[in-house]
Chains A and B, each alone.
Chain A
Amino acid sequence: AIQMTQSPSSLSASVGDSVTISCRASQDIRKDFGWYQQKPGKAPKLLIHAASTLESGVPSRFSGSGSGTDFTLTINNVQPEDVAVYYCLQDYYYPWTFGQGTKIEIK
């Protein structure tokens, strides 16, 4: 199975900061990759698919980049409502695999 290594496991940011989360795949997955946001007690929400395509309704301060094995999620101008755990997911081939998650907190 493809391993997804996500970093950091947690980060603390001030409102207005920019933050970056990384995810590395153990093999080339082209751009078959997405980012999900999970708030406490809620189901995950798809933010970005195909590595860089923003889902409808997701604020433009979220952006994704990368292809092959290295991917990043950038949140510009972090807002209090961005407090959540963020997961990457490779959907290149089965079994699909998630990263370990990154918890974002506000200072």
Chain B
Amino acid sequence: QVHLVESGGGVVQPGRSLRLSCAASGFTFGDYYMHWVRQPPGKGLEWVAVMSHDGSLEYKADSVKGRLSIYRDNSEKKLYLQMDSLKFDDTGVYFCARGVPTSAGGLDYWGQGILVTVSS
């Protein structure tokens, strides 16, 4: 079955960098758009970024443009989120999620999430 497992989280100082990984299994990774969604502690969900199935397209939320980069390795079945110049507001649980390939299909599978804490 479909599994998404995030890793790479932890405690990091403001201004530093962190790279999150999402390992996929149970489906043909290279056929799907993949997304990152985050959730600050005790708050709602925020869509962060998406990368197309072949890596040719990406879109990001305005709040992360210029600091967070999304990329993927289809041969390794992994999605990444490179987080630079981290701010306190970047603290939260980060989920990777699979995009349904049909229009308006939503996000049908999610990882368990990984906590990123930006703290001095």
Contacts and interface: CB of A to CB of B under 8 A. Distances in A.
B88 interface: no
Interface centre among A38, A85, A96, A100 (most CB of B within 10 A): A96
A43 B108 contact: no
Nearest to B107: A46
Contacts, number: 69
B2 interface: no
Contacts of A38: 45
Size category, A interface: 20 to 34
Interface residues of B, number: 23
B44 A91 contact: no
A21 to B, nearest CB: 14
Interface of A: 1, 30-34, 36, 38, 42-46, 49-51, 55, 85, 87, 89, 91-92, 94-101
